[in-house]
Structure 1
Amino acid sequence: MTGLGAAAAASAAILLGFFISLTSCDDIVTELRKSGELRKACPKSGNAPQPPSRVFTLQRVTKLRSLMVNETVTRIPPIDAYIIPSQDEHQNEFVEDYDKRLQYISGFSGSYGDAVITNDTAVLWTDSRYHLQADDQIDCHWRLMRENFVGVPTLTQWLHQTYPSGGVLGADPKLVAQYRWDQLSNELRRTNWTLVEVQTNLIDVMWTTGRPPRRNKNVFVLKEKYSGKPWTKKVEEVRGRLRRLHVDAMVVTALDEIAWLLNIRGRDIPSNPFVRSYLLLDMNRVKFYVNQSQLVDNNVFKYFDETRTKTNEIVEVIDYGNICEDLKTWTQTYTKILIPSQCGNNWGASRNITRCIPKEQKRFHHQSPIILLKARKNPVEIRGMQKAHIRDAAAMCKFFAYLDNKFQDGTAITELDVVKIVDEYRFEQEYSLGNSFRTIAAYGPNGALPHYEPTNNTNAKITDKSTLVLDSGGQYLDGTTDVTRTLHFGTPTKEQKEAYTRVLIGQIQLSMLTFPDNLKSSAVDVMARAPLWEAGLDYGHSTSHGVGSFSSVHEAPISVYFDNPLTFPENEKLRPGYFLSNEPGYYGETGFGIRLENVMEVIEKRWLKHKYGRTFLGFKTVTLVPYEPKLIDLSLLSVHQIRWLNNYNDKIRIQVGAELKRLNFTEGFYWMMDRTKHFYGTGNVNKTKSILLLLVLLVSTCSNQLLLI
């Protein structure tokens, strides 16, 4: 063998050994992930420095275990496992501090998750938005089940695998949706486990000190100039849907549906303008269950009385706690009553509300008809959303100009500084009523956590070496906003530019799409993901969620995700008047993150005619905030994508520029003009795949995970 041949053989052997080690590494990581034992800084022996955001809850878990076998507390025989969900009694995604039971027992502060405590194990399930965050926050006594990974068991599968002899799983029926309860019960029937109701919430028994009080803020009326339709018309529409379903009444449990139906808003839920309440609607009555003291101010009673004078439509206000007893009474007069079932991210009525209707044959489980009515915005709401996004964009341009100036001056800036300042700028805007969710400011590695929120323990200083992901939104009387931009204050690396540009291409491709009105919404997801798939990359969250009008920033039924199990045929179509997000991303676990998010309106393209008589639809982007030019690699964009980008910048200059001038935001105006300069280029006709990001991701992820085992 020649020297060259020997060298080649040696190189081949080294390369083969490298890939074998990668395969071995992957197998180990996969098995640890399946068991939930793949944990950061949790070595089998010895100690390791703990993440600054980690919360140690073993003492609380131990106390909970003692309550699980205390029949005096549970009022049932001892249970072997107890489930703690993240939702509250109304199945809200965002819950007030009083209801953060999951965070109390586990330390995990994300908006979605389920914890199960047995006599010897504590396990947390959460989805890919929160895998890294949960790993940082829960201590080493916990196992972490990363949903969305192949092979990771569900809650019921894990119980069966870990305790094949069976047992009793307890849950608070107020906090578990009937849909979820049925799902768990059906899955457990194939095991030796049973699901039982624990009427006394065990976390409430424990959490006696340091618990924040419940919110009880005043309710106010949303004027028709913002809602676009009187509440009486909305009630008529809902009753029409109920008649077509051959039911006599429905119970409304989702707070955004009650707010929309009655044209009222509140402040009981963080970042969501809702009041804690229930509603019983039949063909003659509207019964509103709420803390009546919250209606005393702001003329809410007067508002309902004026309607009664004009239309004879009466809203009967009843104490919040009477809902269950009233359901038992009133359902005796009904043949069928609709109980809301799961629809997208709306989980429907709780197990407890369902059980308040004693006769099972009277229960009609169906998605709430309010969901589709609310999702399709009327002309007044559409105009309001457009105006709100222009004002919001002006605030963002003013903020970005301020931030850029401070950075150039050498002022030290942290993630928490960014959150504080951007919130203040948004609050100053006309019609602003606060955030639509808690602001996400994530620098460098923190940007790899999709829903990272800075704390005093994790607060990172922002430098010119990496990217800053800023995801924020506002609640305005005339609309709800949600925008994400990724910034860089220095010279981006090639890797950062390619990641940013691939995310941008995905966002542009989805924005440019024209499609027939019978296309399933999940099918459009491929447009946003394809540029990342070309490099072997992906992101673990949905590309789109619905956006309400001065309502929930995550509004049912829209969820654009190619692998979404929570969809139904009637919800799988996009309709003119829907508003949804467009938010592809890249998350490199050890380096940086990229996300870009716009809100889009679904519009009808009336000038196009389908061969078979169908309508063509498309999108109109209502978010008008400039991108970061230094992060864009024009050689990766096609000529059509460059044209879209230039047209988008023109809209910003015209619409947001006028608003910045009106408000005399001079620095914001010049910052905006600088970021929206015309792009020149012919585009890349023959795009080539880049595997650089994939190789870096594979090697760095594997090596880092093994170091932490």
Structure 2
Amino acid sequence: MFQTFDETASPDQGPPRLQALRGAMERAGVDGFLVPRADAHQGEYVAPHDERLSWLTGFTGSAGWCVALRERAAVFIDSRYTVQVQSQVAADFEKVDWPATSLAEWIDAALPGGLVGFDPWLLTVTQKREMEKALSGPTLAPCPNLVDEIWQDQPAPPQGAVFAQPVELAGMAHDEKIRQLAQGLGKARACVITLPDSIAWLLNIRGSDVAHNPVPHAFAILHADATVTLFIDPAKTADLGDHLGDSVTCRPPEDFESALQALAGPVQIDPASCPVAVIDALAAEVIENGDPCILPKARKTAAELQGARDAHLRDGAAMVRFLSWLDAQAPGTISEIDVVTRLEAERASTNALREISFDTIAGSGPNGAIVHYRVTEGTSRTLTEGDLMLVDSGGQYVDGTTDITRTMPVGDPGPEQSEAFTRVLKGMIAVSRLRFPKGLTGRDIDPFARAALWEVGLDYGHGTGHGVGAYLSVHEGPQRIARTGTVPLEPGMILSNEPGFYRPGAFGIRIENLIAVEHAPAIEGQTVSDSLRFETLTYVPIDTRLVVPDLLTDAERDWLNDYHAEVLARIGPQLDAATRDWLEGACRAI
């Protein structure tokens, strides 16, 4: 359940493994090979069996690629990992800023012609098309996975048990979900679903095949007659009983390709998530459309929203107990690992925690500037006077998924830290207070979170918010608050609100609450409102020792004081007397 702190790979291991891969490339007759951080299901998290990128290069981030050629190799990472990749990956691999430089651009410059091999189960239809369109010299060539050929002690595929998600928490029976989605298929006679969280949501099941996200590895075919064929190892479903009912037929995974070949068309696929191997196996006419589960899954039911509220109150109490403990520790006495261990213990003490929702980010001082920092025995720092301590964490509870970030001072904060913190807070408050017209997307909302930073020439390199599942993936699409967020926000969608600022080599700041889109009430003079707003789900104090009050407007100060009054009212009754006393001080009005 809890995270470990050992190094998963060493930079020293990369060069000999790269050399072995080049030997496999020569035997396969290809001049290059693509290694994505992906599995056949295209989820964010992968099982140890599928950690090919990490095994080959040492890079442990949640997104990236490696392109290995006969003479050159490169690891492609986005702005979240520019610091991390330098410490984890050997000099034999070039480090490329992606997507500023695309894989195709780099390959074209490095390889005038020849064949670049890829595993057709790990590349989506869209990825292959975009890369082929961009490549001017080399040709993509499907082949067996060459990393698997050289990975001698590769772990076995996961066999996590699958269990039912109660309809009382899901808010809709899976038979009804299947019926509604089948009616929406149009002229398609079937739809192939490959995303694990889509399958889990559709069938009201949860699994344990990957860390932190309660999803099963499986494939599914939704048929127009409102039935589903589920391709899953029967050992995983032993505890499901009769939950799936007559509308779902289970078959072993090895039957998937033959079932695809036998489908009568038209067959719908989502090219953004469907592996190339699936479309290659289909003999029928193909219709390309989005995964039909994506939007209904994002629009949480009333039961899912209530579950999220309940989970956040439980999680909020655990966070407050942790923050009270942290505040009592003298500088120089605890490490980042101590912070992670204590916080995870507080969540476990709720007796309701199923898993943490991602590896806890606990970065002090310069480690806080690494956006997706993961503490290890080798990187853990002792918290020292003058540090900022950034803690980004979350829990998986049967009724909801949480994700929260708080930044705290260790000792007395400096003026640069406090001003940056206050500007980040202003952005978080701006989004929290926002009332906006229906039809706006995350791209429209994102500038409100950055405006106070932009005023003084500052910014941050990640999105402001991602979607969050209902006891599902902590990162869930299609909604997001970011420059790239083009999906209109709708009532029921849950998102994070997490602006930040990072001074490389010095400190990092991020403040994060989860919020849910809801209808805004009519204002004076209106009979019906066509506006939306955000409901705050997270109730944990924001450290006012880092706030510069004069930088806040009256409305921002009122929001912060009202928020802290709500924190005290909602979380206080769950606490022992000493922790409640600490909370009263942390929630004191400014």
Alpha-carbon distance between aligned partners in 2 of 1:98 and 1:162, rounded to the nearest angstrom: 30
Q: Find the counterpart in structure 1 of residue 3 from structure 2.
A: none
Q: Which one of the candidate residues 496, 506, 513 is aligned to 1:581? A: 496
What is the DSSP-based 3-state SS (H/G/I as helix, E as strand, rest coil) of the residue aligned with 1:129?
helix
Give runs of aligned pairs for residues 450-529 of structure 1, distance below 5 A.
450-529=371-450
Alpha-carbon distance between aligned partners in 1 of 2:558 and 2:446, rounded to the nearest angstrom: 22
Q: Which one of the candidate residues 31, 35, 52 is aligned to 1:101? A: 52
Q: How many residues align?
A: 581
Q: Find the counterpart in structure 1 of residue 115 from structure 2.
A: 168
The amino acid of 2:399's aligned partner reads D
Q: Which one of the candidate residues 233, 239, 260 is aligned to 2:201? A: 260
Cα offset, 1:608, TM superposition: 3.7
Cα offset, 1:613, TM superposition: 7.9
Alpha-carbon distance between aligned partners in 2 of 1:468 and 1:292, rounded to the nearest angstrom: 46
Cα offset, 1:380, TM superposition: 0.6
- Highest Rg: 1 or 2? 1
Q: Which one of the candidate residues 562, 581, 584 is aligned to 1:670? A: 581
Q: Find the counterpart in structure 1 of residue 222 from structure 2.
A: 281
Q: Deviations over 1:396-424 (max 9, x none)?
A: 0111112222x13x772111111122112
Alpha-carbon distance between aligned partners in 2 of 1:356 and 1:321, rounded to the nearest angstrom: 13
Cα offset, 1:634, TM superposition: 0.7
Q: Report the CA distance shift for 1:418/1:53 in structure 2 as closer, same or farther (over 3 A).
A: farther
Q: Deviations over 1:213-239 (max 9, x none)?
A: 332121111111111111111111111
What is the DSSP-based 3-state SS (H/G/I as helix, E as strand, rest coil) of the residue aligned with 2:320?
helix
The amino acid of 1:91's aligned partner reads Q
Name the Cα RMSD after superposition: 1.8
What is the DSSP-based 3-state SS (H/G/I as helix, E as strand, rest coil) of the residue aligned with 2:188?
coil
Q: Find the counterpart in structure 2 of residue 7 from structure 1.
A: none
The amino acid of 1:69's aligned partner reads E
Q: Deviations over 1:552-601 (max 9, x none)?
A: 11111012212x2xx55xxx210011100011111111211111111001
Q: Find the counterpart in structure 2 of residue 87 from structure 1.
A: 38
Q: Deviations over 1:461-488 (max 9, x none)?
A: 1122211110000011111000000011
Alpha-carbon distance between aligned partners in 1 of 2:516 and 2:426, rounded to the nearest angstrom: 19
Alpha-carbon distance between aligned partners in 1 of 2:524 and 2:141, rounded to the nearest angstrom: 56
Q: Find the counterpart in structure 2 of residue 603 from structure 1.
A: 518
Cα offset, 1:80, TM superposition: 1.2
Q: Deviations over 1:146-204 (max 9, x none)?
A: 236xxx421111122233x322111111111111111111111xx11111101x21111
What is the DSSP-based 3-state SS (H/G/I as helix, E as strand, rest coil) of the residue aligned with 1:457?
coil
Are residues 1:196 and 2:141 paired? yes
Give runs of aligned pairs for residues 139-538 of structure 1, distance below 5 A.
139-147=90-98, 152-163=100-111, 165-188=112-135, 191-198=136-143, 200-209=144-153, 211-243=154-186, 246-284=187-225, 285-297=227-239, 300-304=240-244, 307-308=245-246, 314-329=247-262, 331=263, 333-334=264-265, 336-342=266-272, 348-359=273-284, 362-405=285-328, 407-408=329-330, 412-538=333-459
Q: Report the CA distance shift for 1:530/1:646 in structure 2 as closer, same or farther (over 3 A).
A: same
Structure 1 contact 609–616 (Cα < 8 Å) conserved:
no
The amino acid of 1:126's aligned partner reads I
What is the DSSP-based 3-state SS (H/G/I as helix, E as strand, rest coil) of the residue aligned with 1:627?
coil
Q: Deviations over 1:632-667 (max 9, x none)?
A: 11111111100000111011011111232xxxx333
What is the DSSP-based 3-state SS (H/G/I as helix, E as strand, rest coil) of the residue aligned with 2:515?
strand
Alpha-carbon distance between aligned partners in 2 of 1:218 and 1:610, rounded to the nearest angstrom: 55
Q: Report the CA distance shift for 1:55/1:669 in structure 2 as closer, same or farther (over 3 A).
A: farther
Alpha-carbon distance between aligned partners in 2 of 1:249 and 1:509, rounded to the nearest angstrom: 44
Q: Report the CA distance shift for 1:108/1:137 in structure 2 as closer, same or farther (over 3 A).
A: same
Cα offset, 1:56, TM superposition: 4.3
More helix by share: 1
Cα offset, 1:606, TM superposition: 2.8
Alpha-carbon distance between aligned partners in 2 of 1:427 and 1:450, rounded to the nearest angstrom: 25
Q: Deviations over 1:397-453 (max 9, x none)?
A: 111112222x13x77211111112211211222432011111111111011110000
Cα offset, 1:96, TM superposition: 1.3
Alpha-carbon distance between aligned partners in 1 of 2:310 and 2:371, rounded to the nearest angstrom: 28
Structure 1: give runs of 5+ residues left out of the alignment: 1-51, 309-313, 343-347, 680-709
Structure 1 contact 468–487 (Cα < 8 Å) conserved:
yes
The amino acid of 1:215's aligned partner reads P
Q: Report the CA distance shift for 1:196/1:490 in structure 2 as closer, same or farther (over 3 A).
A: same
Are residues 1:649 and 2:564 paired? yes
Alpha-carbon distance between aligned partners in 2 of 1:613 and 1:228, rounded to the nearest angstrom: 27
TM-score (norm. length: structure 1): 0.80
Structure 1 contact 608–615 (Cα < 8 Å) conserved:
no
Structure 1 contact 394–668 (Cα < 8 Å) conserved:
no
TM-score (norm. length: structure 2): 0.95
